[in-house]
Structure 1
Amino acid sequence: MANRLLFILLLFLVADVYFYQAIAMLTQISLIRVLYWFPDVLLITGITLAISARRLGRSAQNMMSWLITGMLLAFVPKLFASPILLAEDVFRLFRGFPPRNIYISEATVAVAGIIFLIFLFGLTRGKHFYRIRRETLYFPDLPEAFDGFTITQLSDIHSGSLRDRKGVKKGIELANAQNSDLLLFTGDLVNNMASEMDPWISDFAKLKAPYGKYAVLGNHDYGDYIRWTSSLAKHENLRRLKEIHAELGFNLLLNQSVTLRKQGQSIALIGVENWGKGGFHQYGDLEKALKGVADDSFKILLSHDPSHWDEVTVDHNQHIHLTLAGHTHGLQFGIELFGFKWSPIQYFYRQWAGLYTKDGRYLYVNRGFGYHGLNGRVGVWPEITVLTLKRNEGTIATA
C-alpha cells in the first residue's frame, strides 16, 4: 500500500511539472512562475510535518485532512488537464518539436480551471450532496414473509468531521423518507473519540424503522488512531461509544446475531466487530457471531470492512446471503457516470462501492454518509442505500 501511495504522489508531481509548461508558455513574468511552485512547497512541508506528528492527537489529524484537500485542489486539475499537452507533444514529435501552440496551452489551463471549480463544489456542497442508491436483490430461499422487505443502510458517519447541521439534517430526513422496514449502520460513527458524537445525538436519534435499528463498529470507533493518556482512557472512550449507540436507538451487534421475525418466519441478522486486512485490526469473529444460527437460515451480515467478505465470508462454510459494508468511502473522489465507475481506491480494495456477487453471495459497499481525510466529496457522493429483498429465481436487478 505504501508503494501505491508513493506512486500516486509521484504521478501528481510529474503532472505538476508537466503542466508548468503551459504556464511558462502563457506568461514571461518571473514572479508568476515562482509563485506557481509556492503551494507545492507549502503542501509538501505541511504533509511531512503532519505525518511525523499524526499520532499525537486530533489537531495533527485535522491538519492532515486540510493538507490532503489542498493537495487534491492543487494537483488533480493539472493531472486531468495534462493529457492535452501530451497529445500536443505527440504531434510535435513528428514535426521536430516546434514551440508550443499558445491556444493549446490556454485550453489546458481552461480545462484545469473547470476541474478546479468541480472540486470546489465537491469540497463545499458535495459534503451533503446525498444520493439515494436503490438495489433490488433476488433470493430463491428468502422466507415468503420477507418478500419485498426493505433495508436502509447508512455507513461512516464520521461525526468528528461534520460541521453543517442543516446539511446533516437533510441526510437524516432523506433516510427516514425511504420508510424502510429496517435501518442498518455499518460502522465508523466517529473519527476517534466518542465525544465527537455528543452534538449530534439528538439528530441521529430521529432515525427510525419499524423492525429496528442495528449497527456494528468500524475501525475508527476503537480509538486506535490517536495517543491516549492511558489504556483506561481508551477503554472508557469505547465504553462511552457503545453507550451512545444505545442512546441513538441502535442495537450494537458485537460478534453476535439476532433473529428478525415477521408473520411467523424469520431471518438472521449478524454483526461482527471490525475486521480488515493490510494492517487494520481484526477484532471481528464470524464463528462467534454465527453461534446459534441455523445453517439453513437466511443470513444478513454487517461487517464494516469489505475485505472481510473477500477474505473470510465469501468462502465460509455457512452460506451468508448478503453482507453489508462501508469503510472505503469510495475515497470520496472518483468518477461515476452512466454506469462507469472509477476511483483510485479500487487499486487498494477490490470491492469499494456498490454491489458485488460471487457464488450466490452478495456484498453491498456503502459509499458513506460523512467524510474523513478529504474535507468533502468529488464525484463519489455521500450515500443512503435502499435495498429491497425479493423472493425469486431470477438474478439481481438494479432499480
Structure 2
Amino acid sequence: MRKRVLYILLLWLFADVYFFSAVTTLTANPIAHLAYWSVDILIVLGVVFTMMVRSRGAAPRAISRVMGLMLLSAVPKIVGTPVLLMEDIVRAFNGFPPRSAWVSELALIVAAVPFLGLVFGLTKGRHHYVVHKHTLYFDDLPDAFDGFTLTQLSDIHAGSFTSEKGVNKGIEMVNAQHSDVILFTGDLVNNKASEMTPWISYFAKLQAPMGKYSVLGNHDYGDYVQWENAGVKAANLISLKNVHKQIGFRLLLDEAVTLSKNGQTISLIGVENWGSTFHKYGDLEKAVKNVPDDQFKILMSHDPSHWEAITLNHLKHINLTLAGHTHGAQFGIELFGFKWSPIKYVYKQWAGLYKQKDRYLYVNRGFGFLGLKGRIGIWPEITVLTLRKSQESRARS
C-alpha cells in the first residue's frame, strides 16, 4: 500500500514540475509561483501525516479532506501534462525555443475539465445515484420467474452519511423500481452498529413484495476499530444483526431461503464475508448444503473475489452471484462503454456484469461512500436485474 502511494506521489511530482512550466510561461508573478508550490507542499504534508497517524485512528473526515485536495491538485495536472509533452517533442526538433503561450493556455483548459468534474464529484457526486438495468437470460430459469426483477444495493456505509435529503433521494429511487425483491450485499456501516441509528427509519421504507434480504460485508464485523474488549466487539455485531431486522432485511448467514412463485421455486443463498485479502468468515458449503443441485440459485456474497476463487467452479451450479465491496474505488471513468478505475489493478471483477461458464457475476458500485467523501466518475449505484428464460428454453417449454 505504502509503495503504491509513493508511486502516485512521484507521478504527481512529475506532473507538478511539468505543469509549473506552463504557469511560468503565462505569468512571471512570484506570488503566483509561491502560491502554486505552497498549496502542493501543504497537501503532501497532509498526505504524509495521515499515513503516519492512520494506524492510530486518524479522524476519517481529515483523511477524506486530504484525499479530496490531493485529487484536486494532482489529477488536472496529470491530464494536462501530455499537452506540454507533445509541445516539447516539437520543440526538441527546433532547438527548444521558448514555450508557446497558447499551448500553455490549452494545457490549462484541458486540466480545467477534470478539475470541474472533481469539484462536482466531491460536492454532489456522493448522492448522484445511477440506476443500472440489465436483463439476464438463463436456460434453467423456472417459467414462473420469467421476468422476475431484483434490485441490488451494496455498501451503504451509514457512518459516512451527512445528508438526509441525499439518502432519502436514493431510497425513493430504489422504491421507484418496483422490483420483486431487494437484495443488499453487505457493509451496512463503516465500523459500528450505532452509525445506522439515525438512518433506520429511512431504510425501513424500502419496499419489495417478495421480501428484502441481506448479507454482511467486511466492515460489518467491526474489525477496523479498537474495542475495549472482545465482548464489546461481539455485542456490536449482535446489535448490527438486530438493525437488519429493524429495517426489514432478512439477514442470511451462510444459509439459503426459498422464493416461491406460482408453485415454482428458486433458491436465494447468502454467505458471510469471504475475501481473498480480507477475513474468510463465509462458508459456501454450509450455505448450499440443503439446496437441490438442479435448483436455480442466486448467491449474495459481498466480496467479488469469492466468485473466481470458490463460486465459479463449485459443484452446485450457482447461476447468479451478487457482490459489491470495491465501490469502483469511487473514482474513475465510465463513458460510452469505456470503463476504468484504479481498483481494476486490485480486483479483476470490480464493477458491473461478468459472465463465465453460463454463470453471471454482478458487482454493484455501492450506494454509499467511504474514505473519499464523494464520488468521481463512478457514481453510487442502484442495480436492477431482470431474469428471463433464454429463447432456446422457451422453445423447449
- Give the TM-score band, short-chain normalised: over 0.9
Which residue number corresponds to residue 291 of structure 2? 293
**Counterparts of 1:335 and 1:104 in 2: how far apart (Å)?**
25
Q: Which amino acid aligns with 1:180?
A: S
- The equivalent residue for 2:377 is 379
Long gaps (5+) in structure 2: none
Equivalent residue for 1:125? Answer: 124
Q: Distance in 2 between matches of 1:107 and 1:48?
A: 32
1:227 counterpart letter in structure 2 = Q
Matched, 1:357 2:374: no
Deviation of the 1:393 alpha carbon: 4.3
CA drift of 1:89 comes to 1.2
Moved more, 170-179 or 255-264: 255-264
> 2:263: which partner in 1?
264
Partner-residue secondary structure (3-state), 2:325: coil
Correspondence for 2:155? 156
What do the CA deviations read for 1:236-257 (whole angstroms, capped 9, x no partner)?
A: 1111111101101001111111
> Residue 370 of structure 1 is aligned with which of 361, 368, 371?
368
Corresponding residue number in structure 2 for 1:237: 236
The answer to whether residue 18 in structure 2 is matched with residue 18 in structure 1 is yes
Once the two structures are aligned, what percentage of the paired residues are identical?
A: 60
1:5-48: per-residue Cα shift (whole Å, max 9, x none)? 43333222222222111112122122221221222222222222
Deviates more, 1:67-76 or 1:2-11: 2-11
| Equivalent residue, structure 1, for 2:92 | 93
* CA distance in structure 2 between the aligned counterparts of 1:210 and 1:31, rounded to whole angstroms: 64
**Which amino acid in structure 2 is aligned with residue 13 of structure 1?**
L
Alpha-carbon distance between aligned partners in 2 of 1:322 and 1:5, rounded to the nearest angstrom: 35
Change (3 A) 1:92 1:64: same
CA deviation profile, 1:142-192 (whole Å, cap 9, x unmatched): 011111000000111111111111111111000000000000001111111
Aligned mates of 2:206, 2:254 — CA distance in 1: 24
Instruction: Indicate the residue corresponding to 1:43 in structure 2.
Output: 43
Alignment map for 1:1-399 (pairs within 5 Å): 3-57=3-57, 59-278=58-277, 280-393=278-391
Cα distance in 2 for partners of 1:147, 1:5 equals: 48
In structure 2, what residue type is equivalent to 1:139? F
How far apart, in 1, do the equivalents of 2:130 and 2:392 lie? 27
What is the total number of aligned residue pairs between the two structures? 393
What displacement does 1:356 show? Answer: 0.2
Counterpart contact for 1:346–1:352, Cα < 8 Å:
yes
Report the Cα distance in structure 1 between the residues aligned to 2:319 and 2:284, rounded to whole angstroms: 14
SS in 2 for 1:179: coil
CA distance in 2: counterparts of 1:253 and 1:9, whole angstroms: 42
Closer/same/farther in 2, CA of residues 394 and 69 from structure 1, 3 Å limit: farther
Deviations 1:308-366 (A, max 9, x none): 11211111121110000111111111111111111111111111111000111100011
Q: Aligned partners of 1:285 and 1:141: how far apart in 2? A: 25
Stretches of structure 1 lacking an aligned partner (at least 5 in a row): none
In the alignment, is the contact (CA less than 8 A) between 1:216 and 1:273 conserved in 2? yes
Query: Secondary structure at the residue paired with 2:21?
Result: helix
Separation in 2 of the partners of 1:316 and 1:263?
29
Name the CA distance, whole Å, in 1 between partners of 2:239 and 2:186: 15
Separation (CA, whole Å) in 2 of partners of 1:284 and 1:38: 49
Distance 1:45 1:8 in 2: 14
Letter in 2 for 1:102: A
What is the CA–CA distance in structure 2 between the aligned matches of 1:159 and 1:204, rounded to whole Å? 10
TM-score normalised over the length of structure 2: 0.96
Q: Give SS of 2:59's match.
A: helix
Q: Report the Cα distance in structure 1 between the residues aligned to 2:336 and 2:218, rounded to whole angstroms.
A: 32
Shift of 1:394: 6.4
What is the alpha-carbon distance in structure 2 between the residues aligned to residue 369 and residue 331 of structure 1?
Answer: 13
Alignment-mate amino acid for residue 348 of structure 1: V
Q: Distance between the aligned counterparts of 1:166 and 1:100, measured in 2?
A: 49
- In the alignment, the residues of structure 2 paired with residue 318 and residue 394 of structure 1 have an alpha-carbon distance, to the nearest angstrom, of 22
Report if the CA contact (8 A) 1:55-1:227 is conserved: no
Pairwise CA distance, 1:52: 2.4
Alpha-carbon distance in 2 for matches of 1:32, 1:394: 68
Give the distance between the partners of 1:125 and 1:241, measured in 2 at CA.
29
**Distance (Å, rounded) in 1 between the aligned partners of 2:16 and 2:302:** 36
Q: Tell whether the 8 Å contact from 1:223 to 1:237 is kept in structure 2 after alignment.
A: yes
What amino acid maps onto 2:158 in structure 1?
S
Residues 44, 340 of structure 1: CA spacing in aligned structure 2 closer, same or farther, 3 A cutoff? Answer: same
Aligned to 1:384, the other structure's residue is in SS state strand
TM-score (norm 1): 0.95
CA distance in 2, matches of 1:393, 1:4: 47
